[in-house]
Structure 1
């Protein structure tokens, strides 16, 4: 039988310890150690993606490196293109996180269906193919004939499907549901998320195929799993908004290929997400002429100007001490 052992791993920096520690001695984070079961007999090389071309790299002189800029992939979504810095970079690894039900899968599926001429592989570990088909019909986008759907949670099987399909773009929904056989722990654990994302990163860099990862967030609002996940990926996008309102904001937390000051605005509708090219339409009320207590100011976020409306309401105080509150 394969021997197993229990170790405690820091979710912030990935350091391990044979026993639980209140404060991590490496990064100084409190209460970040979680228990993991590790199989010592299984090989850690089964889940790695082996390229059939040159697998060995050699050092190059600085002046020998070609700096010709690779053309970015236009995702046919102006708001997403803006946040990414001009489109998807070949071989990049992009992580999109957000609240449950905020519209992460809808945004990605809507983008994939509009990519005509690009072969895409949508790997779903949370929904069935029938659910994805129903969502695609509801979005009412022009269907991409080169969009492949597979429901799989095993990393080794995902790599088999990738080799068979040879896609131009891969979507993993979500990284917390993917697991590899080389680690004896449940999907979503620190070890599984770290090893699976590292193997996917190796595949993306070796083949030049961009990969979009959808990730969960914890109750604090940060990306679930180890902090190493955010260090591994090239771009971290946060999809946020209030589920009781129709508007969503896509902002960049980390971007190796562009600015993190840009943001995209969407409006959630029955047939998917609508791009809001003029943000002032949702920040200004329509009939404000002749009203007192309304002021409009200009602000800038990244390189986009916004017109923001401030409203003040005054009423008589029921008690002797009035109060002032702002929302």
Structure 2
């Protein structure tokens, strides 16, 4: 019909499709079953710590990290735990052949008849595999190597990565099956691909570690189902990746007698307290510009501490080569280790060691004052757990754990005199 029955004009009618009725009706939030979004443990305690208790049904998780850091090994370990409970797990690999993954599974003890491997780089075929198998968990390795048919660009490109992520997220939401995907990172450590990738998924995890150390750290960047201030610790071994439930012991050098130039402190990584040791060395030299070598702590703060020691405390190291390092590859990026670094430098200059049972905490200001540090109670509790009996801390209120004696110092000069 080309004529309007109301205005009687011709050629004014347009065909419009009727909107379909929603398949599901909206429900009051009180009628939603909370059990449907309950965390399910992966069997890897440190991974569950960062996830907030485990994987949530229908969630999309992205695990990013540098090549060789242990991403695939960690996910294969988690997949093996689920498979050991009789739940089917599909491991989609586009980077390796099925034989290569099987070899790694054999080496890490992850072999199971309930663990299915699909060496597939085509996204549509991979989704068909998921639909046919109906697994309890899907692992995809990796986002940047899957190819979405009908989308321009090569695998790993912006459009392709966005399409792959969107398809996998949609599958997770509609099927209720959690999907965990490995993601590549750029040179600056960010997730490769468009920023929308991080917005599409529910959880973004980052795994990092020093190439010269077996330690690996797992951190939450985004988590719709939990906190992002938890840190998981692992150790890369010949037999796979191992959980480190007590990482503080790895950052302490155990010895029977005290040594000048060392001090123990407690750093916070997220909500986790890590006890570590700062070691220093000062070597007299006649050079006009003596060397300053710093590893594991902020070099700028070390330079500031040297200036404060000289100006406020009369400890001049201008004619000394100074070396500052942490033990076990630990990285301390917060100022709470300032006081430990300062007392270690004073100790090596006087050739007088600090007692073995002392832990030192505090930020040092340019005026020589010792400033408060956050989470002091958590730090002291961790030190007390490891057997330390004395603590040098800023003058701030705190609940002191049983068995620990606290000395409060308002200035760096007071700490040195004490």
- In the superposition, the TM-score normalised over structure 1's length comes to 0.79
Q: For structure 2, which runs of at least 5 residues remain unmatched after alignment?
A: 1-21, 296-418
> 1:154: how far off?
1.1
Any idea what SS the aligned residue of 1:137 has? helix
Contact 1:293 1:312 survives alignment (8 Å):
yes
User: Within 2, Cα distance between the matches of 1:234 and 1:288?
Assistant: 49
Contact 2:152 2:159 survives alignment (8 Å):
no
2:188 to 220, 225, 231: 220
Verify: 1:280 aligned to 2:225, yes or no: no
* Residue of structure 1 in register with 2:78 after alignment: 111
Verify: 1:102 aligned to 2:81, yes or no: no
* Residue of structure 1 in register with 2:286 after alignment: 318
* Residue of structure 2 in register with 1:58 after alignment: 25
Verify: 1:89 aligned to 2:56, yes or no: yes
Contact 1:124 1:149 survives alignment (8 Å):
yes
* Cα shift readout 1:153-188 (whole Å, capped 9, x = no counterpart): 111111211121110000110011112212132111
Verify: 1:139 aligned to 2:108, yes or no: yes
Any idea what SS the aligned residue of 1:314 has? strand
1:145/1:267 Cα in 2 relative to 1: closer, same or farther (>3 Å)?
A: same
User: Within 2, Cα distance between the matches of 1:63 and 1:169?
Assistant: 28
User: Within 2, Cα distance between the matches of 1:88 and 1:151?
Assistant: 24
4+ residue segments displaced more than 6 Å: none
Contact 1:123 1:173 survives alignment (8 Å):
yes
User: Within 1, Cα distance between the matches of 2:147 and 2:213?
Assistant: 35
Verify: 1:129 aligned to 2:98, yes or no: yes
Aligned length: 273
Q: For structure 1, which runs of at least 5 residues remain unmatched after alignment?
A: 1-54
Contact 1:176 1:187 survives alignment (8 Å):
yes
Instruction: Select the structure that is richer in helix.
Output: 2
- In the superposition, the TM-score normalised over structure 2's length comes to 0.62
Write out aligned runs for 1:1-327 (5 A).
56-68=23-35, 70-115=37-82, 116=84, 117-141=86-110, 143-287=111-255, 289-327=257-295
Contact 1:178 1:188 survives alignment (8 Å):
yes
Contact 1:112 1:144 survives alignment (8 Å):
no
Contact 1:288 1:294 survives alignment (8 Å):
no
User: For the aligned residues, what is the CA RMSD?
Assistant: 1.9
Contact 1:170 1:211 survives alignment (8 Å):
yes
